[in-house]
Amino acid sequence: MEEYALIMRHQDGKALASPEQMQIWMKQTMDWIGGIAAQNKFVSGTGLPFEDARVVSSSHVVTNGPFGDIKETIGGLIIVKAESVDEAVEFAKGCPVLMGEGNTVEVRKIAKGDGVH
Amino acid sequence: MEMAHDIAADTFLQAMETWAYKGIPANPVAWLYTVAKNKARNSIHRHQVFSGKIAPQLQNVASEIPEPDIDLSDKSISDSQLQMLFAICHPSVSTEAQIGLSLRILCGFGIDEIADAFLTNKETINKRLFRAKEKLRLEQVQIEMPDAAEIDKRLETVLTTLYLLFNEGYYSESKDVQLRNDLCLEAMRLTYLLLENEQTDLPPVNALLALMCFHASRFEARKKENGEIILYQDQDETLWNYELITKGGYFLNRAAQGNQLSKYHLEASIGYWHTIKADTPEKWENILQLYNRLLQIAYSPVAALNRTYALSKANGKAEAIAEAEKLNLTTNHFYYVLLGELYTVIDNEKALHHFREALSHAKTQPDKQVIQQKTDRLLNMSRVSS
């Protein structure tokens, strides 16, 4: 069993959503995560709120959020257990973020810290 | 600790010998306590171990007539039980062995019952308990309350033990209603002991007691006189104990202090929603979200199955069937019960097939009865509609 990070990317982090819409997304996300947890495949996860986001560049210039220059932004990530990358991809397919046009979920294997990976 | 263990074992042995010839006494629990106390007193006289602490208490015990109701709230008994609980829950001993020792020494469980609870055999349990006692001896663990920093670490195991003790009573196969209720009350009493102590009056402990109160409120309503289980939706809610429900609410409120969210908080909140009988969308949406969170911090097959049932109530059966098929619990009879429930109305033939599968996997009589009830109901329903 490997661990994979499912990284949710939003095409447009600046897009405003109504509180009602936010609530629906929240429920869908919680149901999606609950479904993975019900298979005992959930490891951990966190949402990454857009407020108070900062970008620190190589010259230590700090800008407010990634939204000025880059349109695409990370909204959150969860880590799951999966037999293979294919199973992790199946989990990713259920992510409600994908209902948004242009949004993506990136699947990445977690390094084991064994000096090889 | 060794002595307490010997006394418990001796007492149960004497019970078996005496009861076999003279019949079971009117109040077996009181009888056991009295015999155990007498044994403890004799033992203390011989060994002079606990002379300062326990002996004065024991002199008050009436030696000739067994009291029908022995006062268990007595402070020094409480204190020594709490101390014993924490001594057992020492980090040098594996969690499983801690639970086993607690069940054996504090609750007088038989090796058979403990083996059952752990889904293993007597030999394994005997070895595990023996090794654990050796460890406690080597570590020279004292029977005393640990200091504040240590309490936090050990409290989790203590709570797990009490939780399992309560479940043992609540879901026991035994037809002896009194005995089962006693196990639950014993678990609640020990949990309440923790709340009476300032150091252990903590949010998860309050949440655990709230959970127990909510469950215990259905004692009267969930079993027929012959011990047969009455399903939640068939229960007469006028038999629910509203005093216990109110108490549960009180402890859940106290549990809300601080920002810790334990599995007991989530389970108690689920228990709270079950004290509202009416099937509202709000109820099931809340239960679903609580299970979603519970599974993230503490997976269990039961929680996974209940979550899927809540999903069917909140989001519809089609979604729940798809999710159920991913659960991979094909050796669990409740898995087939769930599938049977989900397919009922949608495809009664499939539902029946799953209930039969469930019946073939069920091990205990109460479980088989519940499944049979569901099968009968389905058959009645099909007959009416056809």
For the cut 70, the answer to whether the pLDDT of residue B152 exceeds it is: yes
| A117 located within any domain | no
| A80 located within any domain | yes
| A77 located within any domain | yes
Q: Which of A27, A41, A79, A91 to mutate to test the interface with B (most CBs of B within 10 A)?
A: A27
Answer whether A42 sits within 8 Å of B288, measured CB to CB: no
d(CA B207, CA B13): 37
pLDDT score at B261: 92
| B351 located within any domain | yes
| B353 located within any domain | yes
Answer whether A38 sits within 8 Å of B323, measured CB to CB: yes
Contacting residues of B for A33, CB less than 8 Å apart: 292, 296
Contacting residues of A for B315, CB less than 8 Å apart: 31
For the cut 70, the answer to whether the pLDDT of residue B46 exceeds it is: no
Answer whether A31 sits within 8 Å of B292, measured CB to CB: yes
* Beta-bridge mates of residue A2: A82
pLDDT score at B304: 96
d(CA B53, CA B75): 12
Query: Which tops the pLDDT comparison, B68 or A75?
Result: A75
Amino acid at B194: L
d(CA A13, CA A71): 7
- Could you tell me the pLDDT band of residue B232, with boundaries at 50, 70 and 90? confident
Answer whether B288 sits within 8 Å of A31, measured CB to CB: yes
Contacting residues of B for A39, CB less than 8 Å apart: 304, 326-328
Locate the chain A residue with the closest alpha carbon to B314.
A31
With an 8 Å Cβ cutoff, the interface of chain A facing chain B consists of 27, 30-31, 33-35, 37-40, 42, 45
User: Which member of B285, B295, B315 has the closest CB to residue A38?
Assistant: B295
Question: Which tokens belong to A117?
Answer: 């990976």
| A54 located within any domain | yes
SS (H, E, C) chain B: CHHHHHHHHHHHHHHHHHHHHHCCCCCHHHHHHHHHHHHHHHHHHHHCCCCCCCHHHHCCCCCCCCCCCCCCCCHHHHHHHHHHHHHHCCCCCCHHHHHHHHHHHHCCCCHHHHHHHCCCCHHHHHHHHHHHHHHHHHCCCCCCCCCHHHHHHHHHHHHHHHHHHHHHHHCCCCCCHHHHHHHHHHHHHHHHHHHHCHHHCCHHHHHHHHHHHHHHCCCCCCECCCCCECCHHHCCHHHCCHHHHHHHHHHHHHHCCCCCCCHHHHHHHHHHHHCCCCCCHHHHHHHHHHHHHHHHHCCCHHHHHHHHHHHHHHHCHHHHHHHHCCCCCCCCHHHHHHHHHHHCCCCHHHHHHHHHHHHHHCCCHHHHHHHHHHHHHHHHHHHHHC
B333-343 helix and B348-361 helix, angle to the nearest 10 degrees: 170
Query: Average pLDDT, stretch A42-66?
Result: 86
User: Which member of A30, A37, A38 has the closest CB to residue B289?
Assistant: A30
For the cut 70, the answer to whether the pLDDT of residue B129 exceeds it is: yes
Q: What is the extent of the structural domain holding B349?
A: 330-386
Query: Which tops the pLDDT comparison, B134 or B186?
Result: B134
User: Which member of B285, B323, B328 has the closest CB to residue A35?
Assistant: B323
d(CA B166, CA B160): 10
pLDDT score at B111: 86
Mean pLDDT of chain B: 81
| A115 located within any domain | no
d(CA B287, CA B268): 11
| A116 located within any domain | no
pLDDT score at B164: 83
Query: Average pLDDT, stretch B306-335?
Result: 94
SS (H, E, C) chain A: CEEEEEEEEECCCCCCCCHHHHHHHHHHHHHHHHHHHHCCCEEEEEECCCCCCEEECCCCCEEECCCCCCCCEEEEEEEEEECCHHHHHHHHHCCHHHHCCCCEEEEEECCCCCCCC
Contacting residues of A for B285, CB less than 8 Å apart: 27
Contacting residues of A for B328, CB less than 8 Å apart: 39
Closest Cα of chain B to A78: distance in Å?
11
Query: Average pLDDT, stretch B359-367?
Result: 85
Q: What is the extent of the structural domain holding A100?
A: 2-109
Query: Which tops the pLDDT comparison, B44 or B230?
Result: B230
Listed in sequence order, the residues at least 6 apart from B71 whose beta carbon sits closer than 8 Å to its beta carbon are: none
For the cut 50, the answer to whether the pLDDT of residue B68 exceeds it is: no
Is residue B295 within 8 angstroms of chain A, CB to CB?
Answer: yes
C-alpha separations of B130 from B6, B121, B123, B208 in Å:
12, 15, 10, 30
ipTM greater than cut 0.90:
no
Amino acid at B101: L
Q: Which of A31, A79, A87 to mutate to test the interface with B (most CBs of B within 10 A)?
A: A31
| B376 located within any domain | yes
Contacting residues of A for B295, CB less than 8 Å apart: 34, 37-38, 42
d(CA B16, CA B20): 6
Tally of domains within chain A? 1
Contacting residues of A for B289, CB less than 8 Å apart: 27, 30, 34
Q: Assign residue A21 the CATH number of its domain.
A: 3.30.70.1060
Tally of domains within chain B? 1
pLDDT score at A10: 86
Quote the pTM value. 0.77
A-contacting residues in B 274-293 (Cβ below 8 Å) = 285, 288-289, 291-293
